Amino acid sequence: GEDVEQSLFLSVREGDSSVINCTYTDSSSTYLYWYKQEPGAGLQLLTYIFSNMDMKQDQRLTVLLNKKDKHLSLRIADTQTGDSAIYFCAEKGSTDKLIFGTGTRLQVFP
Amino acid sequence: ETGVTQSPTHLIKTRGQQVTLRCSSQSGHNTVSWYQQALGQGPQFIFQYYREEENGRGNFPPRFSGLQFPNYSSELNVNALELDDSALYLCASSGGLDPTQYFGPGTRLTVL
């Protein structure tokens, strides 16, 4: 079946790096995504990675993909208070629908 | 470039009523997907429309139905509302070679 799992909470100090992890079960995943959701808002795309890549860097964001272990991570360098939000991992398989995890709430404290 | 818009922002209904939610896709996109996000959960796929035809459906009952119009905007209709239908309903548009779905701000539905 299709399932995406994430840890529920992460708390980091401002200026440190944050690493949010995700595991998925669908071996036919083509793309994997990270979205950010602030309170009461929709989903903002942060970045995505094609399944035949193992790393993608975009400014402060680094995505690592271990396809063998079906593990995806998002590293945010120099985390700021404005990064506090819920982060969702999502995968797209052979169909065009997205399967989302339950989200990781990132709290950044001064 | 116009982003994805949804209306209304908030809606309150009672059990048994019917509701219609609307979504305008991003310029140049021909595919609209609808998701339901219950409180504290990740979004769950309801269905997708591509060029006015349903193109995949999640595990939702037939009282959830939709339409896509020639301008690629879309509606989500829910009949016989239940308390568990209370959620944030998100619309996403996509199209062309870009593999990404771009989300609107959502409609918050409360069923009393």
pLDDT digits 0-9 by tens, A53-102: 999 999 999 999 999 999 999 999 999 999 999 999 999 987 789 999 99
d(CA A77, CA A62): 8
Cα nearest neighbour of A48 on chain B? B100
Closest CA to B1 of B105, B102, B76, B70: B102
Q: Which of A63-67, A92-96, B79-83, B86-90 comes out lowest in average pLDDT?
A: A92-96
Asked if the Cβ–Cβ distance from A88 to B42 is below 8 Å, we say: yes
| Of B96 and B67, the one with more pLDDT | B67
Which DSSP helix (H) or strand (E) runs through B55? strand B53-57
pLDDT tens string B6-25: 999 999 999 999 999 999 99
B36 touches chain A (CB under 8 A): no
Count of CB atoms situated within 10 Å of the CB of A33: 22
- Residues from chain A that touch B6, judged by Cβ atoms under 8 A, are 42
pLDDT of the residue at B27: 87
pLDDT at residue B4 is higher than 70: yes
A96 touches chain B (CB under 8 A): yes
B103 touches chain A (CB under 8 A): yes
- Residues from chain A that touch B33, judged by Cβ atoms under 8 A, are 96-98
Give yes or no for a contact between B112 and B19, defined as CB atoms under 8 angstroms apart.
no
Burial class (CB in 10 A: 0-12, 13-18, 19+), A78: exposed
pLDDT of the residue at B2: 63
d(CA B47, CA B43): 12
pLDDT at residue B5 is higher than 60: yes
pLDDT at residue B57 is higher than 60: yes
pLDDT of the residue at B34: 98
